């Protein structure tokens, strides 16, 4: 049964170093899917990217995305979240990507010269978790 609030197991999957598949509609109507690092902040899902990439532009245009976080230890367990974009900011984005780099790689993020980071926060609208 779909719901709109994160449950403890949803948070565990998102807080662990599991990757997030982000699906957003592209300008031509196709679906763009990217794999990114993810975290949770309260009831919001946190994503980070570099400005200039296509998926952030598609997310901004659509205002929503479908996020799927799969348990790397048991791929048949995943949470799928239809979420609405509620925050889009460059403020503090370098700190967010550094925290994500530590979560996933155990080290500081390797910033590229001139790269500007952006953080997105998304609010869940529909959540379904599957486990076997």
Task: State pLDDT tens for residues 28-83.
Answer: 999 999 999 999 999 999 999 999 999 999 999 999 999 999 999 999 999 999 99
Domain membership flag for residue 45:
yes
Residue among 129, 131, 128, 117 at smallest CA distance from 46: 117
Residue among 24, 45, 47, 22 at smallest CA distance from 37: 47
Task: Find residue 23's DSSP bridge partners.
Answer: 33, 66
C-alpha neighbours within 13 Å on the C-beta side of residue 22:
31
pTM: 0.95
Between 132 and 29, the higher pLDDT residue? 29
Between 1 and 104, the higher pLDDT residue? 104
Domain membership flag for residue 65:
yes
List the alpha helices (DSSP H) in 8-119.
8-15, 54-62, 93-105
Query: What contacts 120, CB < 8 A, 6 or more positions away?
Result: 46, 47, 48, 49, 56, 59, 85, 87, 88
Domain membership flag for residue 1:
no
Task: State pLDDT tens for residues 76-123.
Answer: 999 999 999 999 999 999 999 999 999 999 999 999 999 999 999 999
Domain membership flag for residue 56:
yes
For residue 21, the domain's CATH number is 2.30.110.10
Task: State pLDDT tens for residues 117-130.
Answer: 999 999 999 999 99
Measured in whole angstroms, the distance separating CA 80 from the mean position of its chain's CA atoms is: 11
Indicate the number of domains in the chain: 1
Checking if the pLDDT of 3 tops 90, the result is no
Please, which pLDDT band fits residue 2 given cuts at 50, 70 and 90?
Answer: confident
> Range of 48's domain?
8-130
Domain membership flag for residue 3:
no
Domain membership flag for residue 114:
yes
Domain membership flag for residue 123:
yes
Q: Are 13 and 69 in contact (CB under 8 A)?
A: yes
């Amino acid at each position: 049964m779909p719901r709109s609030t994160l449950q403890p197991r949803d948070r565990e999957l998102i807080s662990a170093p599991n990757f997030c598949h982000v699906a957003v509609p592209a300008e031509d109507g196709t679906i763009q899917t990217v794999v990114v690092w993810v975290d949770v902040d309260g009831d919001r899902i946190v994503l980070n990217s570099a400005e200039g990439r296509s998926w952030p532009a598609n997310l901004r245009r659509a205002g929503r995305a479908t996020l799927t976080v799969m348990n790397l230890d048991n791929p048949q367990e995943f949470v799928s979240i239809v979420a609405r974009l509620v925050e889009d900011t460059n403020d503090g984005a370098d700190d967010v990507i550094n925290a994500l780099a530590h979560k996933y790689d155990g080290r500081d993020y390797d910033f590229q010269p001139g790269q500007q980071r952006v953080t997105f926060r998304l609010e869940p609208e529909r959540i379904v978790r599957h486990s076997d």
